[in-house]
Amino acid sequence: MAADSDIDREIRRTFAMVSEALAKATHALLDGDTDAGRDVVRNDRVVDALTRSVEQRAWERLESPRLDPGTVRYLVGVLLILPELERSADLAEHVAQRAVTSLGMQMTPLSRGIVQRMTEVALDMWRIAADAYDDRVSRSGSVDEADEEMDILHERLTSEIASGDMPSAVAAQVALVARFYERMGDHAVNLTRRIDHMTPGAESSQATVAPSRSLRRRRAEQSGEGRS
């Protein structure tokens, strides 16, 4: 497989920018730092431009004659990874937008603590995904375990919202924030799986790995508990 050093460098940079945006957005939310929130919102445009640039380069490489199958697999993998990165940056921006309105200052202490832990788990998942991209070694099992915790935290935050200890308008926004963090975890799961398949033979080595949905959620659906 002929990887592209420029593409790899920019994807690593994007991983770092998304993680930084999420950490900064949470700080802004919980500390009431509206200036930091505005910075995250503004910087989202940088991620958008970066992913567009990498996408263009990947398409240009795909148009080259006589590409070997490994290189095609690598470039297609890049094109599948980029939307996950861009959407995750958008989720961090959405958290930052709520920080600008000082939502965090109106949240209950318990909900604030859960959001802090959700951030820690999400950042760990993103570190795992970034490491998987760096060395092309499967880390799906590790990210699945973290995704289980993220789902549990989401349920805890949903229960706290339902307790009625926050005004309804605040509770509605916190529910959205909870979903943003859960989706960040989902994107990390999707990324590790797409990275797995960038290397020939990944399909057979990953045959026993659960689909991108968490094991807990999948089992709930199979038993009928997860149906709406």
Sequence-separated contacts (24+) of 211-218 with Cβ below 8 Å = 212/186, 214/144, 214/147, 214/148, 214/150, 214/151, 214/189, 215/144, 215/148, 216/148, 216/151, 216/152, 217/151
Sequence-distant (6+) residues with CB within 8 A of 38 are 96, 100
Query: What domains sit in the chain, N to C, each tagged with a CATH number?
Result: 5-206 (1.20.58.220)
Higher pLDDT residue, 1 or 181? 181
Q: Which amino acid is at 82?
A: L
**Is residue 205 pLDDT above 70, yes or no?**
no
Question: What sign for the dihedral angle of Cα 162, 104, 187, 129?
Answer: negative
Taking residues 99-114, what's their average pLDDT? Answer: 96
Q: How far apart are CA 164 and CA 93, in angstroms?
A: 27
- Average confidence (pLDDT) over 105-117: 97
Average of per-residue pLDDT across 148-171 = 95
Band of residue 201 on the pLDDT scale cut at 50, 70, 90: low
**Does position 5 have pLDDT exceeding 90, yes or no?**
no
Say which range, 62-71, 195-204, 215-224, has the weakest mean pLDDT: 215-224
pLDDT (mean) for 164-190: 95
Tell me: pLDDT of 214 over 60: no
Cβ pair 16, 40 in contact under 8 A: no
pTM: 0.84
